[in-house]
A and B are shown apart, each in its own frame.
Chain A
């Protein structure tokens, strides 16, 4: 295995949780809800996935547990902000704090345990293609799911009727409501999807990236995912580009350091953020398309009987 393949393999592992969590948040935000609790939902997914894997011995049940935990946990946010119309920003931040605390408590009995790594699945024929075979077709199921989900979300948002309704809710909830769309239900489902994706991203952390449980193991990835959504101007494939670019620069800077290029490490460490911001600014330089893509009702509370 050459050094380039080695780097690319690490990049895929590093980028997958970002893409997944960001994708869920993208759908949530497209419905007009800003959930800053991604970090909390992600870490809940990580602890649930790890615990379920340890108890049942099956990482696949672990993945399922991660998804369910993220989704259920997100419903707390949905209830507070959609039914009780609490402030979304404050509630989202609280969800992150709560997730970090609760996951620490749940995970206390699992600290220091030897993790079970989710094994890759080689896809017949395709995995034999030189270079890209081992990279793209000898991966674990979470990677395949992440790509399938991006394609699915793109199709859903821009090609399906339900997706059109969801975008309508996000752009102008009053108009959507007047047209008979159930705004609150749509948003509940969008928040739940966001939670499920963040939970899946968390499962990737505790089953693939670093198969272990330590408190606060998401270490800020939820916040990076949130930023990716904005910089991708709410478009799924751009989000993939952003996530992988971020991963690529993060891994390359570590290699640059190990290689001894003599560039200050603080500069190298900030490169992923700089590069991602610059590239995404460049690809979204057209203000009109950016405006069209921004959900106009983002973060605004909706009370149906008003």
Chain B
């Protein structure tokens, strides 16, 4: 029985060795994924980045990855195994790997680590993140133009700063066009549950929203939007296949350039601890083609994107008030990154009570 269980368990923890032809001299760059590399969203985006890295630097490095690594004690084991097996640079690609990464990094001072979306660094641990909220601002602008009722539905996952920041940015973008624009927020309290995400989408549509946006991982909300004949935004990957006549645009994570840049620095011996938080202009996120909208809205969206890229437009710029009406940012003042990364309040115009 024990043997059987072991066999089953090892089948369940799928281990992928990216490169079979292991050249002795090549440096090893390794990745730890929280989901399956074909999840159609977050992890898939990281894996596409890994493949781009292989393509660009394949003659100097080889890559290896572990997928579906649960956050928690298992993560420590997975990261340690990679560190022991000779990986020189390890990317851990989920917020929940933060403490595990720091702990293993202390044990292996000669290995370099990069942790996605976290905030803890060490002499051999860097962090990297993407300014997803820039894309949300553009979505808000489009939503305000496209919605007849002036109400959008927002399917949120967990009340962490990343998600709250996205909601605020969406609302600020929408209100820059229509000052009366409203959003209804539903917290699914999950990243991944197609059924629940679809239920949340149905609930929002039944209550009269005519635009949907989501900060959860599956295409289920896009499907509901398509079925009900309203428009929606995709998340993490281009979801146009799920709604060819529905998707307005999507925020697409594109990590490849960052992985190449950092690996090159590692190979050159110039790797340093950094906290990178790049945005649209750096190409770490891109907008899927603007579709299913009139030309003038498309033009406006493209202009907004260009302004964000040039630095002319910063989504979190005053005058802005908090939800309770108190002053947050004076006219012309922009929020600092620290406030954004710890964001735990709504801006004015969000019709929801932030879960504490």
Contacts and interface: CB of A to CB of B under 8 A. Distances in A.
Interface of A: 3, 6-7, 10, 14, 17, 80, 86-87, 90-91, 94, 97-98, 100-102, 104, 108, 111-115, 205, 209-212, 214-217, 219-221, 250-251, 254-255, 257-260, 262-266, 269
Interface stretch (B5-13, B22-30, B314-322): B5-13
A261 B98 CA distance: 35
Contacts of A113: 241
Interface stretch (B180-188, B287-295, B338-346): B180-188
A83 B253 CA distance: 50
B135 interface: no
Interface hub of B8, B36, B184 (most chain A Cβ within 10 A): B8
Interface stretch (B84-92, B203-211, B298-306): B203-211
B206 A3 contact: yes
Given A90-B1, A210-B220, A260-B351, A215 B194 contact: no
B14 interface: yes
B276 interface: no
Nearest to A17: B195
16 contacts: A80-B4, A97-B9, A97-B11, A100-B12, A112-B219, A113-B241, A205-B194, A211-B223, A214-B39, A219-B195, A219-B196, A255-B207, A257-B352, A259-B207, A265-B186, A265-B189
Contacts of B35: 215
B96 to A, nearest CB: 17
Contacts of B223: 115, 210-212
B279 interface: no
Contacts of B351: 260
Interface residues of B, number: 47
A98 B242 contact: no
Contact of B189 (A10, A86, A269): A269
B269 interface: no
Contacts of A255: 203, 206-207
Nearest to A217: B194
Given A97-B9, A214-B39, A258-B186, A250 B203 contact: no
B288 to A, nearest CB: 14
B327 interface: no
A202 to B, nearest CB: 12
Interface in B188-244: 189-190, 192-200, 202-204, 206-207, 209, 218-220, 223, 241-242
B199 A257 contact: no
A7 B184 contact: no
Contact of B242 (A17, A94, A212): A212
Give the residue among A7, A90, A91, A214 with the most B Cβ atoms within 10 A.
A214
A264 B356 contact: yes
Given A7-B203, A10-B202, A219-B190, 13 more contacts: A6-B202, A90-B5, A100-B12, A101-B11, A210-B195, A212-B194, A212-B220, A214-B219, A216-B192, A219-B196, A250-B199, A254-B203, A257-B187
A6 to B, nearest CB: 4
Interface string B58-76: 0000000000000000000
A266 B242 contact: no
A108 to B, nearest CB: 6
A7 B205 CA distance: 11
A254 B200 contact: yes
Contact of A209 (B14, B40, B189, B195): B195
Nearest to A46: B194
B153 interface: yes
A221 B195 contact: yes
B12 A258 contact: no
A258 B194 contact: no
B204 A258 contact: yes
A14 B195 contact: yes
B348 to A, nearest CB: 15
A255 B194 CA distance: 17
Max chain A C-beta neighbours (<10 A), residue from B159, B203, B223, B355: B203
B355 A265 contact: yes
A126 B27 CA distance: 70
Contact of A111 (B14, B38, B198, B209): B38
Contact of B219 (A3, A10, A212): A212
A221 B353 CA distance: 28
Given A214-B40, A265-B187, A219 B193 contact: yes
Nearest to A86: B1
Contact of A98 (B8, B40, B199): B8
Given A215-B38, A216-B192, A254 B184 contact: no
B14 A101 contact: yes
B187 A258 contact: no
Contacts of B8: 94, 97-98
B4 A94 contact: yes
A258 B355 contact: no
A257 B186 contact: yes
Contacts of B153: 258
Interface string B303-343: 00000000000000000000000000000000000000000
B36 A219 contact: no
A6 B206 contact: yes
A100 B67 CA distance: 14
Contacts of A215: 35-36, 38-39
